[in-house]
Structure 1
Amino acid sequence: MGKITIAIDGFSSTGKSTLAKQLAKKLEYIYVDTGAMYRAVTLFAMRNGIVENPGALVKLLPEIHLKFIYNKDAGYAEMYLNGENIEADIRTLEVSKFVSKIAEIGEVRQKLVEMQREMGREKGIVMDGRDIGTVVFPDAELKIFMTASPDARAARRYKELLDRGENVSYNEVLKNVRERDHIDSNRTFSPLKKANDAIAFDNTDMGLQEQFERMYNYALRVVKKFSEKT
């Protein structure tokens, strides 16, 4: 059976990465977390004290080398920055506070989009982010746009951060979710928006297993239809 490209976009904390990982594993596709790539660049900027200096970051972009390396024990690929495993470092609320601002920078998006397109050149890939179906893979055979209420997303993110041992408040997380929504949807370069041919998927009141089963069954139908054409 032929392989397709699956593009998953949507707001923060809607479970894009979770769904993408599940689909990739079940379909035996490659999974790419583009959010991790932007978080990695953000962490680089934070470590170099240039979060508020886009010009300096752009000049240092050639020094940023990103790579996903599969962790057999974890069951997914982890993010490496210049040879260092930074998977845990990029998942903090501190990085979340700055990542949307870093993702606004046109040169950053251009560099990462080029990398993402190269990763998906052979199809058989599930990629999630903010502009996958609109910019990175506008011709993807399956596009999913995920959304959920800000309160539901903040609750999920709050629990996730607490489970990691971070000292955060729910109101702080909710504020961050709303701020990221505004920045992501209103930035000049590649704003977050639903592709015209994407499936709108609201999972506010839906469990992980239910959302996976729905999207997996739909993906199978798309794969079958694509295979019949090729």
Structure 2
Amino acid sequence: MTDLSAPVIAVDGPGGSGKGTITQMLARHLGWHLLDSGALYRLTALAAARQGVKLDDEEALARVARGLDASFEPTAPGEPVRVLLGGEDVTRDIRTESCGDQASRVAVIQSVRDALLQRQRDFQKAPGLVADGRDMGTVVFPDAQTKVFLTASAAERAERRYRQLKDAGVGVNIDALLNEIRARDERDMNRSAAPLKPAEDAQVIDSTGLSIEEVLERVLAAAGRV
């Protein structure tokens, strides 16, 4: 049940800007609930693939989204949030570049966005919510008390993703990653459904060259919770 009195910190921005790390640190620091909205689109893409639903079948994709059995569990500091699909841990499955690309394509479909909108809003509960996404402040929680748009240069985001994948033992080409990030940015910023952009009342924070601790301090300051 949505609690409209519960405060929300909406953190938007492109992939690789550090939203995932920052929102988990915020949630732990404040003791609030956490919403990884991007995971819902990745979960929809994964569930669709497992059910044999094609990405151009909008009606079937919307049905998958409406019936999505998704949940999040906190993990140790520094680790990604544990993502469950029907009780199965699919954290690694949804973090592949392929699944991310499919999720970006699913996210442009309005019927899918409509199906997931209320589910996202249901995460707003006491004592508060930290919402990680790309349209948290513009669409999902337009009345959020604090809105942050976290960004970084495409080159730095590619380098961060490269290091992350290398540490996980995944072979990857940084030039290919950079091209994928630029293509995804272009698609996300120019889509007709909730394009990626800062809310008018959002504070834009560029994390290029900043430590994660410095970014956290700036977001806490924006929220008035230093």
- TM-score normalised by L of structure 2: 0.89
Q: Partners of 1:76 and 1:204 in 2: how far apart?
A: 21
CA shift for structure 1 position 64? 2.3
Moved more, 113-122 or 61-70: 61-70
Residue equivalent to 1:116: 120
Q: Contact 2:149 / 2:205 at 8 angstroms: preserved in 1?
A: yes
Percent identity (aligned): 38
Match of 2:206 in 1: 202
Is 2:192 the counterpart of 1:184? no
Q: Of the candidates 27, 43, 46, which is equivalent to residue 43 of structure 1?
A: 46
Instruction: Find 2:140's aligned residue among 136, 152, 160.
Output: 136
Deviation of 1:88 after TM superposition, in Å, equals 1.1
Distance 1:162 1:75 in 2: 16
Contact map agreement 1:8 1:143 (CA 8 A) in 2: yes
Q: Distance in 1 between matches of 2:91 and 2:207?
A: 26
The CA deviation at 1:74 is 7.6
**1:197-226 CA-partner distances (Å, limit 9, x unpaired):** 00011111111111112222332x2x59xx
Post-superposition CA distance 1:48-98 (Å, at most 9, x none): 342343343234334421112344698774211122111111111121222
Q: Which amino acid aligns with 1:178?
A: R
Instruction: List alignment gaps of at least 5 residues for structure 1.
Output: 225-230
- Counterpart amino acid of residue 159 in structure 2: A
Of 71, 75, 78, which residue of structure 2 is paired with 1:67?
Answer: 71
Instruction: Give the conservation status (yes or no) of the 8 Å contact 1:79–1:87.
Output: yes
Note closer, same or farther for the CA distance 1:110–1:177 as it changes in structure 2 (3 Å cut): same
User: Partner letter of residue 43 of structure 2?
Assistant: A
Q: Root-mean-square deviation (CA), in Å?
A: 2.2
**C-alpha displacement at 1:37, in angstroms?**
1.2
1:193 positional shift? 1.1
Amino acid at match of 2:135: D
Deviation at 1:27, TM superposition (A): 1.1
CA–CA separation in structure 1 for the residues paired with 2:78 and 2:158: 25
Match for residue 25 of structure 1? 28
Aligned equivalents of 1:52, 1:165: Cα separation in 2? 33
Structure 2, unpaired ranges of 5+: none
Give the number of equivalent residue pairs: 221
Structure 2 residue corresponding to 1:214, chosen from 213, 218, 223: 218
Describe the SS at the equivalent of 1:119: coil
Alpha-carbon spacing, 1:148–1:197, altered in 2? closer, same or farther (3 Å): same
- Name the structure 2 match of 1:228: none
Contact 1:143 1:198 in 2 (8 A): yes
Alpha-carbon distance in structure 1 between the residues aligned to 2:81 and 2:154: 28
TM-score, length of structure 1 as denominator length: 0.88
The 2-side partners of 1:162 and 1:7 are apart by 30
